[in-house]
Amino acid sequence: MVSMAEWEETRRRLHFGQRVSGRVVQVPRPGTIGVFVDIGLVVGGFVDVLLLPEDADRWPTEGTEAEFEVWWVDERPQVRLKPVDPRFLREDFDEWLSRWRPGWPLELGLPVLANDPPSHGT
């Protein structure tokens, strides 16, 4: 298990939209939870079901190597990720994004430790 000091140090180096390479290491319940990704940090990455295609057959499978973007980070020692490859994104991602996280373009490049990212709470 990672210490809080290690997690804080890792968080300081992360920015929204930062690209990371990773390998899918676990797909516990396809279609219901999301996928866990090894991104080579002291903590793992996770892609939430909300960002993945509705059809679980289109989800990346264990062993898939792909590019991801840092989507969200909070106090929990885990990096929330967004797939870069559109094959692994929900079909209506652009529409969904404009409704649920319209400030995403303004957040790109900002440190994840910002107290109040531009689209937080919108």
**Tens digit of pLDDT for each residue in 69-108?**
999 998 899 999 999 999 999 999 999 999 999 999 999 9
State both tokens at 17.
Answer: 């939209």
CATH of the structural domain 4-103, one choice from 2.40.50.140, 2.40.30.10, 1.10.287.3510, 3.30.930.10: 2.40.50.140
- Within 10 Å of residue 111's Cβ, how many Cβ atoms? 14
**Coil, strand, or helix at residue 69?**
strand
b/e burial code for range 54-82 (CB count within 10 A of at least 16 → b): eeeeebbeeebebebbbbbbeeebbbbbb
- What pLDDT is stored for residue 75 in this prediction? 87
pTM of the prediction? 0.90
- What pLDDT is stored for residue 122 in this prediction? 42
- What pLDDT is stored for residue 113 in this prediction? 84
Residue type, 120: H
- What pLDDT is stored for residue 119 in this prediction? 57
Calpha distance 109→117 (Å, rounded)? 11
Which has the higher per-residue pLDDT, 115 or 73? 73
| Domain chopping of the chain, boundaries | 4-103
Judged against a pLDDT cut of 70, whether residue 116 lies above it is answered with no
State both tokens at 35.
Answer: 């996928």
